[in-house]
Amino acid sequence: MYAAPFEYHRASSVQEAVGLLQRYGDDAKLLAGGHSLLPVLKLRLSTIGHLIDIRRIEGLSGIREAGGEIVIGAATSHAALQHSQLLQQKLPILAEAAAQIGDPAVRNLGTIGGSLAHADPAADLPAVILALGSELRVEGPDGSRTIAADDCFTGLFSTALRPGEILTEIRVPVPTARTGTAYEKHAHPASGFAVVGIAAVLTAGTGNTIAQARIAVTGVGTAATRAGKAETMLMGQTPTPDLLQLAASKVPDGIAARGDLYAPPEFRAQLARVHAERALLRAWQRMR
Amino acid sequence: MATVMRPNSLVGTSVKRTEDVRFLTGQGHFTDDLTLPGMTSAVFVRSPYAHARIRSIDATRARKHPGVLGVFTGQDLMAVNPLPVGWLLPGLRIPERRVLAVGTVRHQGEAVAVIVAENPYAARDAAGLVEVDYEPLPVVVDAEAALAPNAPRLHESQPDNSAFEWSIGDAVATDAAFAGAAHVIKQRFRNQRLIANAIEPRACIASYSAAGNDLTLWLTSQNPHVHRLLMGAFVLGVPEHKFRVISPDVGGGFGSKIFVYPEEVVACWVTRKLGRPVKWTADRSESFLTDAHGRDHITDAEMAFDARGQIVGLRVRTIANLGSGLSLFGPSVPTYLYGTLLCGQYRIGAIHCSVTGVFTNTVPVDAYRGAGRPEACFVVERLVDLGALELGIDPAELRRRNFIASDQFPYQTPVALAYDSGNYAPALERALELAGYAQLRAEQKQLRAEGRYLGIGLSSYIEACGLAPSQVAGALGAQAGLYESAQVRIHPTGKVTVYSGSHSHGQGHETAFAQIVAGELGLALEDVEVIHGDTAQVQFGMGTYGSRSAAVGGAAIHMSVQKVKDKARKIAAHLLEAAEGDIEVEGSNYFVRGSPERGKQFGDLALAAYLAHNLPQGLEPGLEAVSFFDPTNFTYPFGTHIAVVEVEAATGAVTLKRYIAVDDVGNVINPMIVEGQLHGGVAQGIAQALWESAEYDPQGQLLTGSLMEYALPKAEMLPAFETDRTVTPSPVNPLGVKGAGEAGAIAAPVAVANAVLDALSPFGIKYLDMPYTPSRVWAAIQQSGRK
Amino acid sequence: MAEVTIAVNGVSSSHSIQDRMLLVHYLRDVLRLTGTHVGCDTSQCGACTVLLDGVAVKSCTVLAAQADGSHVATIEGMGTPAALHALQQAFREEHGLQCGFCTPGVVMAAADMLRRNPSPTEEQVRSELGGNLCRCTGYHNIVKAILRAAEQMRSEQQSPARAVPMAAAAR
């Protein structure tokens, strides 16, 4: 496998990367872990003139807590997420989901920013980021701005990032006490991608009620999305296994399920229901 | 290691492998690891269409690309003969299969041009500049559909797309058996198409020296001499003595590296044309699109039982998808390697099987691990389970009742074969014992009450391997005998080099064959070196496939060792001034009966043979022997495997909880290696049942064309295997071995299938196509109406 | 063209290479370290697994240019025929290899696995092998070999990082 020729640039700062993106425009792509981009180039499914390597930009990797938020650099590897003690304490769902991406070698290089910006419909992290109510910091020629995760995933391999912008940080609010989270996935036996992935975040209110429910789905439609109908059913309610099952059954509603050889649309919807129920049950257990 | 060993003391022990050290330290030499001075790179331009007429090929831009040395199409290679077919059937239709397409392409990925350049980058870049104008033609991928009257026609000469009609057994007797039967089970089976996916992709390096008119080909081959003979004599017209084929370390084959493929032929042509070495290495995507595929049968089968559960008849009608043309041994797989195995381990009074081979717009189909025998085993063992269900007899008990008894061997089946030896019940009983069968059935009952679906599946398999008695093979259509050769050369210092016509691509021959020789000669293992895979070093060879290496190749080595020992005994008798008949051999010690302390060591005899100062009158100096072993029969390994699965009704997910295998492969040379072979076969067999399938869309596009879609098993998808063996030696070779390479792949698919369908029996589901993916199982449960 | 300086198995060298060259091709074609193999196009098979700055990566999915300034450890640096690494020895003892093609990648992945978890369970070993395909062994003996090596390395109190010098050097 030999890619078509391109020029490799290693950016030492975000500003330099933004400048390179401006200079080369459509003929440039950012390279972080490379695990989505390089196979495409090797198979010559796409050609590109310039690759801008942002993996080693100082400050673009790392996980820290600041002002009630967990701040994750876009070039942070999946392995770093998986093994982060901070995440295991504060955002276990993110570590749990990262541990299910690809395989150990892929996780060592693949990055959270790359995964979110690539927006593969079967990627794991978009669902988790959505369920956690995160924000994405991006930097472009006109400075930086923030995109709410809810506004980020606009379609098949497309996001709200504008041409020339670089995703720099993911900011996740630290969940309040009595929040339970869970990620449930049905992995494709060959690719390991999510045929269906469900991220559930339940926050308890007074008594045993659910004050807030956020459920996000990946793998089913063309982009990761929230399951609004199911969330609404849970809000303010006192959960029971039956209620969670009922809500889970609504998770595929409103999502045009994709179909392929491995999972036709109706089966994807069924997997979404089953995994949503599991995710909700686990999140509920952790919430209590 | 002790200097003196008992005869055969090494055979039967789990000696660690000699070859491991080089592989573990990165010092193996696989074809793509090699580089020759001035070597160029070849890349093939392949058809994106499954069926199209080539209107024109414009390579002008590609030829001008920097670094490009040549671009060649089918028109340039018209002097190269079409690819050969090595197994003929009566009335076989053989369409011409050219190495680069001429006029028409018939499967996605068929090569239409080759680019040769200074390096792989330039070759790849230029490949994108070749402009091929295709006129797409109608496509047919399903074999049954291809037989329909208005189906697209692949070859002008075969209006109905059929390659052959073949049958075996007695149709009249079978009809009679069915007429008198108490129960008849009918089932349609689809044995899906598979892709071998050896982890090393195919590769070759061809190098020509005009000065000596010498052509050398390094090739990922399971049988370098077969490649040399076929390519030299039939395809390229190159004299065999000026053509050297070297098959160095090869990273797995599973059948896919037996055959003559277009790429190595083109590489040989190109190196002669350009006068520079040329290397081609397949990308994995090319492996998917060009390595011969396996299986792909549609079968309608019926099994007849009498009132007591005795199988009285079997009727099988199979449509075999052969792909776009005939691969080298394609015709043999769904016929002689399939129909002849339909008797299983059972006394079946009458069998009839007919097979139609069909051309479709898919990759040609040929032998893949098991080759015909897994398909036969599936039909028989699934029908037996269906019979058990219908008759209300436990599947283990029904098998027991029908087994050929241990005193009935050799056993003549109604489908041509005579089983060499067997003792089926002990293997079944041992498997049941290992599984804890009675407890499993109790657990199954209990779990069902909780809405959990445990399944237990048995497979009592038979295989024919140790291919093959040459006269029989010839009578069945093989275009060559299937003997094996071995040369055992003793050096003056008593060290040994063995030249074997078998080829190891993972099977551990360098160790196992050395065990045979060192054990027989009373030498240390490290005193014996095994050479294979080089036509310039090894006299001749038929290669490795059909689980034949130990039974045929090993037997040839054993023969040569006996000849060496006979000569050593003559020399010993002479030196000890005794009659030859009085010489006894114990390990390396040759002595006059009763006086072992005054014996001659084998090393001394070797030296004497080469010094030749004092040899018996008329005895030639030197100590070496060549043998060709031609077996008198196939060998017939057997055993019983048991799979335990759990099916989750909500998602259709199948979990393989346990896998128990009791195999009888006759005597074993190295139990560790044999176990490893069985594990690997079982893994591939399980994978057929649960994950693997080559799927085409109606336009002939391979939907499972990468490891992103085609699911090879990963470590976490498989359990630890629980294995044991029984030992029933084969009488047809001096080692008593049978063969272990394919057993697992033959037994496992239907063991898992029977387990899954057993788990699904509460839903009334009696059959599902493999692989049992969650969506397929879930959909079947939905449709059952019993969820 | 890119100028790269990469330390492979402790030996640093500089080369001018095409920007598009993959790390695996740099190892195989430029340095002639052919123990690292290519088995697929899509980062599934893991035959090309090496350690990059101490962690396992698939060298078919890394540009050589990305590795500029890095340390790489390959199978050739693990042990010698005369002094096999505990992992290599265990693979031989347990018959954890057949054709040997996937083996270098599996051994490197196992080195990475045991660095992170010196006492894995069988289930963890199987799960952690998700990036390495073996078509010969059915994994049965690979799993046994890794468990055996882990035990051996623990009993020798030999840290996996020490077993893989580059891993330590990189940190």
Tokens read off for A70: 């967990």
Contact B708 A271 (CB under 8 A): no
Q: What is the pLDDT of residues B482-531, one digit of tens each?
A: 999 999 999 999 999 999 999 999 999 999 999 999 999 999 999 999 99
Smallest Cβ–Cβ distance between B679 and the set C37, C39, C138 belongs to C138
Q: What are phi and psi of B514, to 5 degrees?
A: -65, -35
Amino acid at B185: I
- pLDDT score, position B747: 98
Residues in chain B closer than 8 A to A274 (CB atoms): 650-651
Closest CA to C44 of B283, B123, B291, B682: B283
Task: Report residue C171's pLDDT band, with 50, 70 and 90 as the boundaries.
Answer: very low
* C residues 60..119 contacting A (CB < 8 A): 60-63, 65-66, 68, 109, 112-113, 116
Closest CA to B206 of B129, B272, B108: B272
The angle subtended at Cα A97 by Cα A94 and Cα A98, nearest 5°, is: 85
CB A172 within 8 A of CB A132: yes
Q: Which residue of B has its CA nearest to C36?
A: B26
Mean per-residue pLDDT, B148-168: 96
ipTM field: 0.97
Residues in chain A closer than 8 A to C2 (CB atoms): 8
Q: What is the pLDDT of residues B392-407, one digit of tens each?
A: 999 999 999 999 999 9
The angle subtended at Cα B242 by Cα B240 and Cα B243, nearest 5°, is: 65
Q: Which residue of B has its CA nearest to C144?
A: B720
Residues in chain A closer than 8 A to B125 (CB atoms): 4-5
* Residue B672 confidence (pLDDT) above 50: yes
Smallest Cβ–Cβ distance between A267 and the set B125, B695, B775 belongs to B775
Sign of CA dihedral B698, B699, B700, B703: negative
Residues in chain A closer than 8 A to C117 (CB atoms): none
pLDDT, averaged across chain C: 93
**Interface residue B563 vs chain C (CB under 8 A):** no
Contact A35 C61 (CB under 8 A): yes
- pLDDT score, position A288: 80
Q: What is the pLDDT of residues B541-551, one digit of tens each?
A: 999 999 999 99
Give the residue from C135, C144, C147 with the most B CB atoms within 10 Å of its CB, the best one to mutate: C135
* Residue B94 confidence (pLDDT) above 80: yes
Closest CA to B406 of B762, B629, B726, B688: B726
Please tell me the distance in Å from C49's CA to the nearest CA on chain A: 8
- pLDDT score, position C156: 84
Q: In the 8-state DSSP scheme, what is residue B426?
A: H
Residue A124 CA to residue A129 CA, distance in Å, equals: 9
**Interface residue B712 vs chain A (CB under 8 A):** yes
- β-pair partners for B191: B297
Residue B430 CA to residue B372 CA, distance in Å, equals: 27
**Interface residue A4 vs chain B (CB under 8 A):** yes
Q: What is the pLDDT of residues C116-129, one digit of tens each?
A: 999 999 999 999 99
* B residues 669..698 contacting C (CB < 8 A): 672-673, 675-677, 679-684
Taking 70 as the pLDDT cut, the residues of chain A under it are none
Smallest Cβ–Cβ distance between A8 and the set C58, C63, C116 belongs to C63
* Residue C105 confidence (pLDDT) above 60: yes
Residues in chain B closer than 8 A to C113 (CB atoms): none
Q: In the 8-state DSSP scheme, what is residue B772?
A: -
Residue B781 CA to residue B772 CA, distance in Å, equals: 12
Q: Which residue of C has its CA nearest to A56?
A: C66
Residues in chain B closer than 8 A to C103 (CB atoms): 23-24
Percent of chain B clearing pLDDT 90 (strictly above): 96
- pLDDT score, position C162: 47
Q: Which residue of A has its CA nearest to B696?
A: A261
Mean per-residue pLDDT, B734-760: 97
Neighbouring chains of C at 3+ CB pairs within 8 Å?
A, B
Give the residue from A7, A31, A38, A40 with the most C CB atoms within 10 Å of its CB, the best one to mutate: A38
Q: What is the pLDDT of residues B688-739, one digit of tens each?
A: 999 999 999 999 999 999 999 999 999 999 999 999 999 999 999 999 999 9
Beta-sheet strand order (sheet of B243-246):
B68-73, B111-117, B40-46, B278-281, B203-209, B214-219, B243-246
Q: What is the pLDDT of residues C39-77, one digit of tens each?
A: 999 999 999 999 999 999 999 999 999 999 999 999 999
Please tell me the distance in Å from B655's CA to the nearest CA on chain A: 12
Q: What is the pLDDT of residues B651-669, one digit of tens each?
A: 999 999 999 999 999 999 9
CB A181 within 8 A of CB A200: yes
The pairing of beta strand A158-159 with beta strand A194-204? unpaired
Q: Which residue of B has its CA nearest to C133?
A: B714
* Residue C170 confidence (pLDDT) above 50: no
**Interface residue A38 vs chain C (CB under 8 A):** yes
**Interface residue B775 vs chain A (CB under 8 A):** yes
The beta strand positions in B491-617, using DSSP E, are: 496-500, 528-532, 583-586, 589-592, 600-601
- pLDDT score, position C166: 45
Residues in chain C closer than 8 A to A106 (CB atoms): 43, 58, 61, 131
Residue B492 CA to residue B603 CA, distance in Å, equals: 8
Q: What is the pLDDT of residues B19-71, one digit of tens each?
A: 999 999 999 999 999 999 999 999 999 999 999 999 999 999 999 999 999 99
- pLDDT score, position B8: 63
**Interface residue A10 vs chain C (CB under 8 A):** yes
Task: Report residue B2's pLDDT band, with 50, 70 and 90 as the boundaries.
Answer: very low
- β-pair partners for B477: none
The pTM score is 0.97
Tokens read off for B658: 């346990």
CA distances from residue B151 to B50, B51, B166 in whole angstroms, order as listed: 15, 13, 22
Q: What is the pLDDT of residues A114-135, one digit of tens each?
A: 999 999 999 999 999 999 999 9
What is the H or E stretch that residue C88 is in?
Answer: helix C86-93
Residue B374 CA to residue B294 CA, distance in Å, equals: 11
Residues in chain B closer than 8 A to A2 (CB atoms): 120-121, 124
CB C133 within 8 A of CB B714: yes
* Residue C160 confidence (pLDDT) above 60: no
**Interface residue A105 vs chain B (CB under 8 A):** no
CA B593 from centre of chain: 47
Contact C91 B716 (CB under 8 A): no
* Residue B3 confidence (pLDDT) above 80: no
Q: What is the pLDDT of residues B214-228, one digit of tens each?
A: 999 999 999 999 999
* Residue C161 confidence (pLDDT) above 60: no
- pLDDT score, position C157: 65
Helix (H, G, I), strand (E, B) or coil at A95: helix
Q: What is the pLDDT of residues B117-131, one digit of tens each?
A: 999 999 999 999 999
Q: Which residue of A has its CA nearest to B649?
A: A274
- pLDDT score, position A208: 86
